[in-house]
Amino acid sequence: MKTVACVVQPGFAPFEFGVACEAFGLDRTEDGVPNFDFRVVTAEPGAIPSKLGFSLNVDADLTFADEADLVVICPVPRELWNAGDPRVLDVVRRAVARGAWVLSVCSGAFVLAEAGVLDGRRATTHWMYADVMARDYPLIEVDPDVLYVQDGTIITSAGTAAGLDACLHLLRQELGAELTNTIARRMVIAPQRDGGQAQFISRPLPVAVNQSLASVTDWMVENLREGLSVEQLAARAHMSPRTFARRFKADHGATPAAWLARQRLIHAQRLLEKTDFGLDRIADESGFGSAAVLRQNFARTLGMTPTAYRARFSCARSEAEPAA
């Protein structure tokens, strides 16, 4: 992926627009991250009003979007959800047809829905609007409980911050885990967030954060090779296993086992990128135990084998340890 077109329309949401700019528009070559040719485009160049009253001067029309490797769709006002600009809808259809990435942030998914490219696919949008999408576009399998969904080359995201999660998800596939972590560190956000929108729906904030769980998760990451049971982890947190499991899922949006599996996968990705270790050693060091289990997790989560992942993203230096 080298070229990115961010489509804005009248009434665009500034924060969600900024998400695309932050993820794909900044020059991070000094950190070793490839630079994208990022351009903001619109159907009618000129002053494009935002929903907050100020305008953005956009000089480029939609021509570049027909060549871009990624087309990002920003949210539009609700009155435009079912009455999209036909020029933008055609750009979206052509992008999907030629196999380009298409990513929507928040209610930008309604533009994709109106274009018809989500029919027969799984998708998401902000939890407040998921029922509306399911009602108005019954051919779409709307999942209201996730931060983002990838179906083929189309990625839809939930509200606001979930747009960053979706962008990082795409960057991991294009740049690998190590460079994506570099980008996330620059943003000062987690490179990979577990959980779903259910964490944020009509739920009061806890009075205080249980700091003991932070120490437990730190210890888990430092001991990925160990066979970590809920009972063992609960003991470190000075809780019963049942209380620990319930509190862990409430705080992290995932069970201890699912969270641990994700951390092991991330560590395995880093080892594949930065070392020449054999699969057996990587499986051992990341806590999967065997190369077979490592392959199963890669296939299920990333849709590729560890060998294919290494071939695509390896940045192992010549001094890396020889394969085991």
For residues 273 and 179, give the distance between their C-alpha atoms in angstroms, rounded to a whole number.
Answer: 10
Tell me the average pLDDT across 204-216.
56
Options 6, 106, 167, 315, the catalytic residue? 106
Kindly report, residue by residue over 18-44, the tens digit of the pLDDT.
999 999 999 999 999 999 999 999 999
Q: Would you tell me how many other CB atoms lie within 10 Å of the CB of residue 252?
A: 18
| Residue 251, SS3 per DSSP | helix
Kindly report, residue by residue over 41-55, the tens digit of the pLDDT.
999 999 999 999 999
Kindly report, residue by residue over 147-186, the tens digit of the pLDDT.
899 999 999 998 878 899 899 999 998 998 888 888 988 8
Q: What pLDDT sits at residue 193?
A: 61
Q: Is 195's pLDDT higher than 70? A: no
Locate the domains of the chain by residue range. 3-187, 207-324
Q: Which residue has the higher pLDDT, 312 or 175?
A: 175
Q: What pLDDT sits at residue 185?
A: 83
Report the chain's mean pLDDT, rounded to a whole number: 87
CATH architecture assignment, domain 207-324:
Orthogonal Bundle (1.10)
CB-based burial, 82-108: b 16+ in 10 Å, e otherwise: eebbeebbebbeebbeeebbbbbbbbb
Kindly report, residue by residue over 62-111, the tens digit of the pLDDT.
999 999 999 999 998 888 888 889 999 999 999 999 999 999 999 999 99
Per-residue pLDDT band at 324 (split at 50, 70, 90):
very low
Q: What pLDDT sits at residue 204?
A: 35
- In CATH, what class is 3-187? alpha beta
Q: Which residues, 6+ apart, have CB-to-CB distance to 232 below 8 Å? A: none
Q: Is 212's pLDDT higher than 70? A: no
Instruction: Look at 117-121, 151-155, 307-311 and tell me which has the smallest mean pLDDT.
Output: 307-311
Q: Is 194's pLDDT higher than 60? A: no
Q: Is 15's pLDDT higher than 80? A: yes
Tell me the average pLDDT across 214-237.
89
Q: Which residues pair with 10 in a beta bridge?
A: none
Per-residue pLDDT band at 112 (split at 50, 70, 90):
very high
Residue 253 has phi, psi (to 5 degrees) of 70, 15
- Kindly tell me the burial class for residue 161, based on how many C-beta atoms sit within 10 Å of its own C-beta (0-12, 13-18, 19 or more): middle
Q: Is 286's pLDDT higher than 70? A: yes
Residue 21 is a catalytic residue: no
Same fold, 3-187 and 207-324: no
Q: What pLDDT sits at residue 318?
A: 35
